[in-house]
Chain A
Amino acid sequence: ETGVTQSPTHLIKTRGQQVTLRCSSQSGHNTVSWYQQALGQGPQFIFQYYREEENGRGNFPPRFSGLQFPNYSSELNVNALELDDSALYLCASSTPGQGNGYTFGSGTRLTVV
C-alpha cells in the first residue's frame, strides 16, 4: 500500500508569482485535504476535496484554489504569492468517516522571497 506522496519537497518562489503543489493520495482513499503549517505552529485547514469537488474550506482567501482528479490525486494552487505564504504545505488523504485516520504526506516546504 503506497502512502501519500507530495511534490516538490522544497520550492522557492518570488512574491507575486503563482505556485502549484501536487499530492497523490494513499491507495483506497478518495478524500484529500490540504493544510498550511507555518513554522512553530499547528497545521491550519485550507480545504478538502471529495469526488473532485471542494466540500469544505478554511479561512483562506480565494487565491488558494485546488483540484482533485479522477484518480483522487490533487493540486493546490496559490496565486499572487505573499511572504506570509511561506510554510510547510501538507496533504492528507482519508476515507469518509470521523473514525478514520488521515494519512499525511511529508509536505512541500514553500519559501516566498
Chain B
Amino acid sequence: GNSVTQMEGPVTLSEEAFLTINCTYTATGYPSLFWYVQYPGEGLQLLLKATKADDKGSNKGFEATYRKETTSFHLEKGSVQVSDSAVYFCARPRDYKLSFGAGTTVTVRA
C-alpha cells in the first residue's frame, strides 16, 4: 500500500483563512518527509522538508512538524492568499524513489 496518506480535498478557502492539510506516513524508521506544491500548469516545487523527528520545516508562511508519535507531517498556514491556490503533495523517500500522497487541491477565493 501507499506509504503516505493525505487528505484529498478539494479545499476551498477565503483569503486570510487558516489552512491545514493532513498527512500521515507509514515506515519502519524515520524517513525524511517533504511537502511539494504544484501551481496550475507547472511542475512540482519543494515547499518544505524535515529530515528527522520533531523537525519543523517552514517556507513562504507554511509550516509542518514531523511528529513521530502520530506519524504525521501536517501542513499549515495561518493566513492564505489567492496565490496559494495549487495542488499540495506530501511525499517521503521509499527505496530509490519518492512516494507521493494523492494530492490536495486548494483554491483560495479573494
Contacts and interface: CB of A to CB of B under 8 A. Distances in A.
Interface string B8-35: 0000000000000000000000011010
Contacts of B31: 98
B103 A41 contact: yes
Contact of B49 (A45, A56, A88, A101): A101
Nearest to A35: B98
A55 interface: yes
B100 interface: yes
A90 B36 CA distance: 13
Interface in B40-68: 42-46, 49, 51
Contact of A104 (B44, B49, B95, B102): B44
Contact of A98 (B36, B45, B46, B93): B93
Contact of A43 (B42, B44, B49, B51): B44
B49 A105 contact: no
Interface of B: 31-32, 34, 36, 42-46, 49, 51, 89, 93, 95-103
Interface of A: 6, 33, 35, 41-43, 45, 48, 55-56, 58, 88, 90, 92, 98-99, 101-107
